[in-house]
Amino acid sequence: MDDLLIAQEISKGNQKVFEDFFNAHKLKVMNLCYGMVHDREVAEDLVQDIFVEIFSSAHRFQGKSKLSTWLYRIAINKTINYLRKEKIRKFFVNADDAKHSIMSDDRADWNMEEKEKMNHLHKIIDKLPSKQKQALVLFIYDEIPQKDIAEIMNCSVASVEVLVHRAKKTIKNKTSNIYGNII
111 and 67 in one domain? no
How many structural domains is the chain composed of? 2
59 and 122 in one domain? no
Domain end (from 100, 118, 135)? 100
User: Residue 172: in which H helix or E strand, if any?
Assistant: helix 157-179
168 and 91 in one domain? no
Average pLDDT over residues 68-94: 78
124 and 61 in one domain? no
* Residue 49: domain span: 1-100
Q: Which of 28-37, 49-58, 174-183 is predicted with the least confidence, judged by mean pLDDT?
A: 174-183
pTM above 0.85, yes or no: no
Concatenating the DSSP letter of every residue in 48-102 gives HHHHHHHHHHGGG--SSS-HHHHHHHHHHHHHHHHHHHHHHHHHHHT--SSTT-G
179 and 111 in one domain? yes
90 and 21 in one domain? yes
123 and 90 in one domain? no
Q: pLDDT (tens digit, 9 = 90+) per residue, 99-133?
A: 344 344 444 455 666 777 777 888 888 889 989 98
109 and 87 in one domain? no
Domain end (from 78, 100, 122)? 100
Separation CA 60–CA 44 (nearest Å) = 24
130 and 91 in one domain? no
